[in-house]
Amino acid sequence: MTTAAATPQGVRRPPAVRGLTALLATTAAATVVVEVLNWSYAPEQGFGLAVRSGWALLRTVGFLVLIWHVHRGRAAARPLGLILAVTTVFAVGRLVVPRAGMPPLPGLLGFAALTLLCAAVVWMLYRSPQIGAYLVRHPGRLVIDRQGVSWRETPPRRPPVAAWLLTARVAAFTYSPLMLVPCLIAIGTIFDGKIVAVPAVVAWFVAGVLVSNVVLLDTFFLLRGKRWARTLLVAITVVVLAVDLPLCWWLLGVDGLVRDGAPLVAAAALTCYALWRAGRAGPPVAAS
Average pLDDT on 242-257 reads 89
Average pLDDT on 178-198 reads 81
Average pLDDT on 56-76 reads 86
Q: Beta-strand (E) ranges in the chain?
A: 2-3, 140-145, 148-153
Model pLDDT, residue 100 = 62
- Report how many helices (DSSP H) and strands (DSSP E) the chain contains, helices first: 10, 3
Report the SS3 class of residue 141.
Answer: strand
pLDDT higher than 70, residue 27: yes
Contacts of 192 (CB under 8 A, 6+ apart): none
**209 band by pLDDT with thresholds 50, 70 and 90:** very high
User: Between 160 and 118, whose confidence is greater?
Assistant: 118
Query: Which letter, b or e, does each residue of 11-20 get, where b requires 16 or more Cβ atoms within 10 Å of its Cβ?
Result: eebbebbebb
User: Between 71 and 144, whose confidence is greater?
Assistant: 71
Model pLDDT, residue 148 = 62
- The answer to whether 218 and 236 are in contact (CB under 8 A) is yes
- Helix ranges restricted to H, 128-226: 129-134, 163-173, 175-191, 198-222
Global confidence as pTM: 0.75
- The answer to whether 130 and 15 are in contact (CB under 8 A) is yes
